[in-house]
Structure formats: C-alpha cells, structure tokens
A and B are shown apart, each in its own frame.
Chain A
Amino acid sequence: MIQVNGLTKDYGARRAIDNLSFDAEQGEIVGFLGPNGAGKTTTMRILTGYMPPTDGTAIVAGYDIVEESLEVRKRVGYLPETVPLYDDMTAVEYLKFMAELRRIPNADDRAFETLEMVNLAERANSYIGNFSKGMRQRVGLAQALIHRPEVIILDEPTIGLDPAQVVEIRNVIREIGKDRTVLLSTHILSEAQQICDRVLIINKGKIVAEDTPENLQSRLAGSQRVLLHVRGETDDLSAKVSKVKGVRDVETKDDGSVEFEFSAGQAVRPQVAKAVIQAGFDLLEMRPIGLSLEEIFLELTRENTGGKKAS
C-alpha cells in the first residue's frame, strides 16, 4: 500500500529527510516514532501529496506521489498535526464540504455516518469553534475517514488530549486499521506499543530502527531496571540486595528506595524478594522501570556510532 524508496527532502541547505525507505502493507498499523524535527511530518506531507520530495519516489495506494498526485490524494486520508478545521462551520457542514470536495454521493448521509464512527453524532450541528480539543481531534479524524480511504496518515493524532480521550482515539484508530493501512506518528512509546503492528524509529531524517514494538523493546531492554521500596530502616537494604546473584548497579535513592539492574531473562526478582523478606524488611513495592523514549534514542544513537547497524 505504501512503498517508499530513497525519499529525500531538503529545505534549503538543511536535509529534513535523508534517503528514507520503508513499506507498509494493507491492514497494517505502522508507527512513526521520533523526536520533534526528526522528519516525521515532512515524510507524511510528501506521502499525502502536500509537497514534492527533492529526490526518491513513493508509491501510495498504487500511484506515484509525484506523477499521479491527484490519484494518490483521492485514496489517502490525512490528519495533519494542526487539525485543519473551520471554526465557523458545524461539524456536519464541515464534513459535508469535505465529502463534496471528494465527490462522495449523498454527502449528508456520509457526514453523519462518519461522525458516528468517531462518536460525535450528537454534536453534529454544533459549531466546531465551540468544541473541546478532543472533539476537534475527532472531527479531524472524521475528515480523514470521510472517503473511506485505503491509506490513512495521521500526524500525532493523540497529542494534547486527556487520557480518556487518548484511549478513545486509539480505539477508533485500531478499529479503522483492521482493513486499511494506517501510518501514524507519535513520540509516545507506549502509544506505539499499544496500537502499532510495526514501529519505525526515525531520527535526523533517517530510520534508525524498524521492528515490532515487542522486539524493539526486548532488544533495547538488554538489561532491566527495577525499583524496590520497603518499610522501615533501609540502611543495609542495598547491601542485602547486592548480594543476590545477577544483581548489579545498585543505587539508593534519597527517599530510601533502591534501584537495581539485571540482565533480561534471568529470574532475579524472586530471589531479591526472598532476600529482602528474610532480612526482615516489609516489602512494599517492586516494579520494573521501563526505558523511556529518550533512553531508547540514546541507546540507538549509541548503537549507530558504535558501528553496529540497527535493524
């Protein structure tokens, strides 16, 4: 559905994306993960026909993005990062306008159906200007779905939403991603983990890693870090923990809790728990600390400079 081959874009002297290549199949939700300025938006804008690339080609829904831009645009739904809405229109007027631009017969019915898909049917006749951020995001999503496109490209679809709204939008995306190709960008790792079948990590215009979220994490999490919290005096806690086989890098925090690391795959945690309890401590909490996106990036850039090829 999406085949990107050697895509490059220069803004003046600055290279925004550099020789980018990847594929996405039908029914696949692909996550584009990267920090701000990594080239996510630029790539999406090129794939949606907003701007031409400096070099390279891409085939989206069977058409070349440069040669047959209009054909591509007919088959792609796009939600830009700044949700493009007309505040002076009602939700249904706006969707009807988009449906007419896309030559959909019975634009009225389609607008209502699409609002139902994003759970906004009861606000169909309210002005978009009065909508909350979450509702605006949903109208934007509805606009991207109005023509039931084969390929859906969403730029940061959950940014700025409250947790409940995030869950809601994610559910909608998962639902629509069942039989279409979805490419979405995010800088939240857990989001990519929850909804994407595959994740592309992009940094400075290059893909630095490409894998399923599970593989990516286990590969990166070569060692796991755990936080330990106990009641009472904690003076010799770190000493006791250090004695357990496999534990390394023990660190006592200011609040008395202890952090330690062990190699992934080893059954170290039960041993630690036993040791703590035998030493007479009341074990309150023991939980893994996930690697944050920043750490993953550091990890990946380190891998790259080390000469080892990621992906």
Chain B
Amino acid sequence: MRNIWTIAKREYDHYFISPIAYVVAFMILLTIGIIFAINLYYYIQNAFQSFGSTPDVTPITGAFGFLLVLSIPALTMRLLADEARMGTLELLLTAPVRDFELVAGKWLGGLLFILSILAVTLIYPILLNGIVIGNFTIIPQLVTPGIDRQLMFSSYLGVILAAASFLALGVGISAVFTNQIAAFFVTLSTFVFLWWLIGFPANVLQGTSGEVFRYLSMQTHFYEAFNSGRIYLTDIIYFVSLIALGLFTGTTAVEIRRWS
C-alpha cells in the first residue's frame, strides 16, 4: 500500500508541471464557471416568479461528468505509455513494487488531481448556499434555507465515482499501448462508447436485453441516479466494477509486457 502512495504522490506532483494537466484544469473550470454564471442568471430571473427552479449543484456536477469524458483521456494517455517510452518502466518493474501497486499508484495519482480540480468547484455551492455559522452570516444565502445538501453530496459522489472509473480504464488502456496518441484515441472512443453509444440500444430494445444495455450505459448511473440525488447499491457496484476492470487490465498488460 505504501508503494501505491509513493507512486501516486510522484504522479500527482507531475501533473502540476505538465502543460496538458493545466490545459485540462483550465478547460474544465472555465466551462463550469460559464455554466454556473448562466444558471445563476436563470435562478435570479425565476426568483421573482411564484414558482421556479431552486438553485442546486446538479448543473455543475452534470457538466463535470461530461467534461471527464473529454479530459481524462488526455490525463491518462501518458501514464504508462510514457514510462515505457522513456525507459523508466524498466526502473519501476525492477524495483520491489508489485505490478498492481504500480498501476494502482498511477490511478490514484490521477484521481487526486481530478479531485483537486473538483475541490475548486466547491466554490459554487458555497456561493449558492452561503456560509452561515450560528447567527453569523459570512456569505449571504442565495436561497433560504440553503441548497439541498443531500443532492449535493450524491452528485459530487457521482462525479468522484465516474472520474475514478474513467481513470482506471484510462490507466489500463495506457498500459496496453506504447504510443501516447494511440492510448488517447482508444481511451476517448471507449469513453464515448460507454457514455453515449451503449445507451442507444437501450431505448430501442425491449425487455431484458434493453435493460442490460441500460445498465451498461454510464449516463444511466450518473444522471439518473447520483446526479438526481439517488444513491443505490447497483450504481455503486457498476462504478466499482469499472474501476476493477481498468486496474485489472492495466496490471495484466504490465505482466504481459514482462513476458514479451
């Protein structure tokens, strides 16, 4: 476990000197910021009417989930492909580190980086909710008595699980390919498939087969469950299975690399 942490720490530090990571962080935060501003405008408009939408975090977390599809391939493409190219994979594979620890460390480092970006978006719920401690209002509340915190918790949990799954798959694919660009495109196509394409048969097919496709689509678990305030075991199992699949693929790919 300590090895996983050592590798994750180095990976996390590496993101902060990598231009791609800054571009990704910038893109995500800019998009989220614009979406927040637009939503805020509508909230204010609606506030003057007797009925209207209540402000909540789901537009932010929903957009974040979609942005993960586009940004995570750029973050994971170099994880193992680059080590192989630079020859440092030989260093890690001859150090007393298990193949799984190496793959899991890379994954954890990426997850910590995404969580750092996600942490920045917490400023939006804070702006919506305000900060009130006892009788002191530090930041005034936009809505009384504040936003739905359970919904906020479940949607952020959804983003974390989706990010963890995407990263695991990305690390796995990066371990298979020596070429970063190949890793990037295969990862991106896998995500597009999981996020959008697999959902189409679900709308067409009837009965059990439709249900199967429905379960495989990540949007089902992301938007219809976590991002709507519902936390079910089946959705958690879905994401955990994807994480396991990604890390298993990565570990196996590294092992295969030793043999060839």
Contact = CB atoms under 8 A, between A and B. Distances in A.
Contacts of B93: 49-50
B94 A50 contact: yes
Given A52-B258, A52-B259, A88-B14, A98 B95 contact: yes
B197 interface: no
A50 B255 CA distance: 10
A22 interface: no
Contacts of B97: 101
A80 interface: yes
A45 B91 CA distance: 11
Interface string A68-101: 0010011010101011111010000000011011
A82 B87 CA distance: 6
Interface residues of B, number: 23
Chain A contact-residue range equals 20 to 34
A102 B10 CA distance: 14
A38 interface: no
- Secondary structure at the B interface, as helix, strand, loop or mixed, is helix
Interface in B108-147: none
Contact of A48 (B14, B94, B259): B94
A143 B88 CA distance: 12
Given A97-B10, A103-B2, A74 B88 contact: no
A51 interface: yes
Contacts of A52: 258-259
Contact of A101 (B14, B17, B86, B96): B96
A70 B7 CA distance: 17
Interface string B41-75: 00000000000000000000000000000000000
Interface in B1-57: 2-3, 6-7, 10, 14, 17
B6 A76 contact: no
Given A49-B93, A84-B86, A85-B86, 8 more contacts: A70-B98, A78-B91, A85-B88, A97-B10, A98-B91, A100-B6, A102-B95, A103-B96
Interface of B: 2-3, 6-7, 10, 14, 17, 86-98, 258-260
* List of 8 A-B pairs having minimum Cβ-Cβ separation, nearest first: A84-B91, A82-B87, A84-B88, A48-B94, A73-B96, A74-B96, A100-B6, A80-B90
